[in-house]
C-alpha cells in the first residue's frame, strides 16, 4: 500500500533517510533533523513531498521523497525524486515499484512530463531495477554541486 506521508511519519522518514545514507556510505553527511523535515514537508510552504510504502501488516516498508522541478524545454513541471528507499528486509516485495508507479501516476495526472532521479554509479541493484522499469540513464550530463565552504565563498 502506498499513501501520502503525514507529519506523524517524520520520525520514521528521518530514520530511513539515515538508513539510506548508511547504505550509500555517507551517513556522516546527514545533517537534516526531524524538525527540518517537518518544516520542509508540512510547513507553511512545503518544499518537498513524501509517500510511504507499507507492508500488508501496516509496517513502514519504505518511502519516496520528492519535489517539483521545471523543464524550460518542455515548459512544464516534473518530479525530481530525491530519495527512494525500501528497507532491506522487505526488498523484492514490490514496494519500490509501487512508490515509483505512484509518482508516475501523479506526473500523468498533473501533466508533468518528467520523473527524474540520480543513482550512484556503483549501485548496480538499483540501476538494474530502474532499467527494468524502462528508465534510461542520462549519460551525457554530469551533476555538479556547491556545498559548504565553496558555496559560502561563492555566495558570500
Q: What angle do CA 131, 47, 2 make, to 5 degrees?
A: 50
Q: Which of these is catalytic: 49, 85, 112, 130?
A: 130
Give the DSSP letter string of 104-132.
Answer: HHHHHHHT---EEE---TT-HHHHHHHHH
130 counts as catalytic = yes
Active site residues: 130
Amino acid at each position: 500500500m502506498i499513501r501520502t506521508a503525514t507529519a506523524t511519519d517524520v520520525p520514521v522518514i528521518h530514520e530511513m533517510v539515515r538508513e539510506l545514507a548508511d547504505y550509500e556510505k555517507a551517513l556522516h553527511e546527514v545533517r537534516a533533523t526531524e524538525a527540518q523535515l517537518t518544516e520542509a514537508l508540512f510547513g507553511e510552504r512545503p518544499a518537498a513531498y513524501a509517500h510511504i510504502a507499507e507492508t500488508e501488516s501496516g509496517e513502514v516498508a519504505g518511502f519516496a521523497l520528492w519535489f517539483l522541478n521545471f523543464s524550460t524545454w518542455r515548459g512544464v513541471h516534473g518530479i525530481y525524486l530525491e530519495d527512494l528507499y525500501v528497507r532491506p528486509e522487505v526488498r523484492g516485495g514490490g514496494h519500490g515499484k509501487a512508490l515509483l508507479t505512484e509518482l508516475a501516476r501523479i506526473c500523468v495526472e498533473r501533466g508533468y512530463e518528467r520523473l527524474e532521479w540520480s543513482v550512484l554509479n556503483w549501485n548496480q541493484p538499483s540501476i538494474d531495477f530502474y532499467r527494468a522499469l524502462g528508465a534510461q540513464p542520462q549519460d551525457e550530463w554530469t551533476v555538479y554541486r556547491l556545498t559548504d565552504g565553496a558555496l559560502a565563498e561563492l555566495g558570500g
